[in-house]
Amino acid sequence: MKKITTIIMTTVLALGVFAGCSNGSTDKETPENTKNVTLEEIHTAVKDAYGENYLPNMEIPAEMLEAEFGLTKDLYAEVIAEQPMIGTHADRVVLVKAAEGKADAVEEALNKAKENKIADTMQYPMNLPKIAATKVVRHGDVVAFLLVGAINENMDATEEEAKTFAETEVEKAVEAINNLFK
């Protein structure tokens, strides 16, 4: 267990070091008519979209939010962030209510985290399609990092099939969030 913890913390620190090294595009949704939706409502909707296939079950502490996602405490008013207790699963759900005037910075930080995860060659091969399918979604001052979905049990899936499966899975969270803001 200590070895796994050491590996995870080393990876997190490495991601933190490279957090500022890339620029990037975003897969964002920013409708102009945003509703007042709480992070708890969003969290519940995302969890409900997956049922027992929702793997994140452990809170991500503030230190890891900063190291892995570049989210310093001054950037957010509220955050709900979870990851699986089992380190081999890449899933991360980070829901952020940005501090006033900080939504762009939060979105930028989460997109950098997405790019860093995609570029990280130290990932388990089974996680690569899921990581590539990661989405960052924004509605006003609420920004979500979505690396989530069921485990693809089809071990014989082609690369394209695995990619499609992962994209379909993460889209469940995107739809759950977007539906709250309609």
pLDDT score at 146: 99
Residue 67: helix, strand or coil by DSSP?
helix
Would strands 58-59 and 92-98 be described as parallel, antiparallel, or unpaired? unpaired
Q: Which residue has the higher pLDDT, 23 or 97?
A: 97
pLDDT of residue 114: 97
pLDDT at 150: 96
Q: Report yes or no: 138 and 101 within 8 Å, Cβ to Cβ.
A: no
Q: What is the helix, strand, coil percentage profile of the chain, to 5?
A: 50, 15, 35
Helices (H), the chain: 2-17, 39-50, 62-69, 103-119, 128-132, 159-180
For 130-139, the pLDDT digits (tens) are: 999 999 999 9
Number of folded domains that form the chain: 1
The answer to whether residue 10 scores a pLDDT higher than 60 is: no
CA distance 24 to 116: 10
- Domain containing 52: what range? 2-180
114-165 per-position pLDDT tens digit: 999 999 867 888 899 999 999 999 999 999 999 999 999 999 999 999 999 9
DSSP state of 29: -
Q: Considering the chain, what percentage of its residues have pLDDT values greater than 90?
A: 74
pTM score, whole prediction: 0.81
Strand pairing category for 135-139 and 58-59: unpaired
